[in-house]
Protein backbone atom coordinates (compact mmCIF):
# COMPACT_ATOMS: atom_id res chain seq x y z
CA UNK A 1 0.00 0.00 0.00
CA UNK A 2 1.54 3.32 -0.95
CA UNK A 3 1.72 6.37 1.30
CA UNK A 4 -1.34 7.94 -0.29
CA UNK A 5 -3.45 4.92 0.70
CA UNK A 6 -2.11 4.51 4.23
CA UNK A 7 -5.25 4.67 6.38
CA UNK A 8 -5.66 7.76 8.51
CA UNK A 9 -8.44 9.00 10.70
CA UNK A 10 -10.23 12.08 9.42
CA UNK A 11 -8.78 14.21 12.20
CA UNK A 12 -5.26 13.16 11.14
CA UNK A 13 -5.68 14.36 7.56
CA UNK A 14 -4.46 17.76 6.43
CA UNK A 15 -7.55 19.91 6.33
CA UNK A 16 -8.79 23.14 4.93
CA UNK A 17 -12.01 25.01 5.60
CA UNK A 18 -14.50 25.34 2.77
CA UNK A 19 -13.98 29.11 2.90
CA UNK A 20 -10.31 28.60 1.95
CA UNK A 21 -11.41 26.42 -0.94
CA UNK A 22 -13.51 29.33 -2.16
CA UNK A 23 -10.65 31.80 -1.64
CA UNK A 24 -7.82 29.67 -3.05
CA UNK A 25 -9.87 27.96 -5.74
CA UNK A 26 -9.44 24.52 -7.18
CA UNK A 27 -5.73 25.04 -7.84
CA UNK A 28 -5.15 25.73 -4.16
CA UNK A 29 -6.98 22.56 -3.17
CA UNK A 30 -5.08 20.48 -5.72
CA UNK A 31 -1.76 21.95 -4.61
CA UNK A 32 -2.49 20.57 -1.13
CA UNK A 33 -3.63 17.25 -2.60
CA UNK A 34 -0.40 16.93 -4.61
CA UNK A 35 1.67 17.88 -1.57
CA UNK A 36 -0.19 15.84 1.08
CA UNK A 37 -1.90 13.11 -0.95
CA UNK A 38 -5.37 14.08 0.22
CA UNK A 39 -7.12 16.91 2.00
CA UNK A 40 -10.14 17.06 4.27
CA UNK A 41 -12.52 19.92 3.51
CA UNK A 42 -14.40 21.12 6.57
CA UNK A 43 -17.47 23.29 6.90
CA UNK A 44 -17.83 25.07 10.24
CA UNK A 45 -15.22 22.70 11.66
CA UNK A 46 -17.09 19.55 10.62
CA UNK A 47 -15.67 17.14 8.02
CA UNK A 48 -17.52 17.50 4.74
CA UNK A 49 -15.40 15.89 2.02
CA UNK A 50 -12.04 14.29 1.34
CA UNK A 51 -10.38 15.30 -1.92
CA UNK A 52 -7.77 12.98 -3.37
CA UNK A 53 -6.11 12.54 -6.73
CA UNK A 54 -7.61 10.35 -9.44
CA UNK A 55 -4.60 8.03 -9.08
CA UNK A 56 -5.21 7.67 -5.33
CA UNK A 57 -8.90 6.99 -6.00
CA UNK A 58 -7.99 4.28 -8.53
CA UNK A 59 -5.57 2.80 -5.98
CA UNK A 60 -8.35 2.70 -3.37
CA UNK A 61 -10.68 0.95 -5.80
CA UNK A 62 -7.98 -1.56 -6.74
CA UNK A 63 -7.25 -2.30 -3.08
CA UNK A 64 -10.97 -2.76 -2.38
CA UNK A 65 -11.30 -5.13 -5.35
CA UNK A 66 -8.26 -7.16 -4.27
CA UNK A 67 -9.65 -7.40 -0.74
CA UNK A 68 -13.00 -8.55 -2.09
CA UNK A 69 -11.32 -11.20 -4.27
CA UNK A 70 -9.26 -12.48 -1.30
CA UNK A 71 -12.35 -12.68 0.90
CA UNK A 72 -14.34 -14.46 -1.80
CA UNK A 73 -11.51 -16.96 -2.32
CA UNK A 74 -11.45 -17.70 1.41
CA UNK A 75 -15.23 -18.11 1.44
CA UNK A 76 -15.08 -20.39 -1.61
CA UNK A 77 -12.46 -22.54 0.13
CA UNK A 78 -14.62 -22.84 3.26
CA UNK A 79 -17.64 -23.73 1.13
CA UNK A 80 -15.61 -26.40 -0.65
CA UNK A 81 -14.45 -27.88 2.68
CA UNK A 82 -18.03 -27.90 3.96
CA UNK A 83 -19.28 -29.59 0.78
CA UNK A 84 -16.56 -32.25 1.07
CA UNK A 85 -17.54 -32.98 4.68
CA UNK A 86 -21.20 -33.19 3.73
CA UNK A 87 -20.34 -35.70 0.98
CA UNK A 88 -18.82 -37.98 3.62
CA UNK A 89 -22.03 -37.82 5.65
CA UNK A 90 -24.07 -38.83 2.60
CA UNK A 91 -22.24 -42.15 2.11
CA UNK A 92 -23.97 -45.43 2.97
CA UNK A 93 -21.24 -46.14 5.56
CA UNK A 94 -21.95 -42.89 7.41
CA UNK A 95 -25.68 -43.51 7.24
CA UNK A 96 -25.29 -47.00 8.74
CA UNK A 97 -22.93 -45.73 11.44
CA UNK A 98 -25.45 -43.09 12.49
CA UNK A 99 -28.28 -45.64 12.50
CA UNK A 100 -26.16 -47.92 14.67
CA UNK A 101 -25.54 -45.14 17.16
CA UNK A 102 -29.23 -44.28 17.31
CA UNK A 103 -30.23 -47.94 17.80
CA UNK A 104 -28.10 -48.32 20.93
CA UNK A 105 -29.96 -47.92 24.20
CA UNK A 106 -29.10 -44.80 26.14
CA UNK A 107 -27.97 -45.28 29.72
CA UNK A 108 -29.29 -42.49 31.93
CA UNK A 109 -27.95 -44.13 35.12
CA UNK A 110 -31.45 -44.16 36.56
CA UNK A 111 -31.89 -40.41 36.16
CA UNK A 112 -34.40 -38.58 34.06
CA UNK A 113 -33.20 -35.29 32.68
CA UNK A 114 -35.63 -32.45 32.13
CA UNK A 115 -35.55 -28.70 31.64
CA UNK A 116 -32.31 -27.07 32.76
CA UNK A 117 -30.85 -30.40 33.92
CA UNK A 118 -30.73 -31.83 30.42
pLDDT tens track for 4-15: 556 678 888 888
Do 68 and 92 lie in one domain? The reply is yes
Q: Do 45 and 64 fall within a single domain? A: no
- Long-range (24+ apart) CB contacts under 8 A made by 51-59 are 52/4, 53/4, 55/4, 56/4, 56/5, 59/2, 59/4, 59/5
In this prediction the pTM is 0.58
Q: Are residues 37 and 72 in the same domain?
A: no
Per-residue pLDDT at 61 exceeds 90: yes
Q: Is the pLDDT of residue 2 over 60?
A: no
Tell me the CATH number at 30.
Answer: 3.40.1620.10
- Residues 72-117: tens digit of each pLDDT: 999 999 999 999 999 988 899 998 998 999 999 888 887 877 777 5
Helices (H) and strands (E) in the chain, counts: 3, 3
**How far, in Å, CA of 89 to CA of 71, rounded?**
27
Q: Are residues 63 and 88 in the same domain?
A: yes
Q: Domain span at residue 32?
A: 7-52
Q: Which of 5, 100, 117, 98 is nearest to 60 (CA)?
A: 5
Amino acid sequence: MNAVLAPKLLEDLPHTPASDVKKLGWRGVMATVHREGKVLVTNHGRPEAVVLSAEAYDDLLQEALETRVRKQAALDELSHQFDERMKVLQTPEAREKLRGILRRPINFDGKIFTGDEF
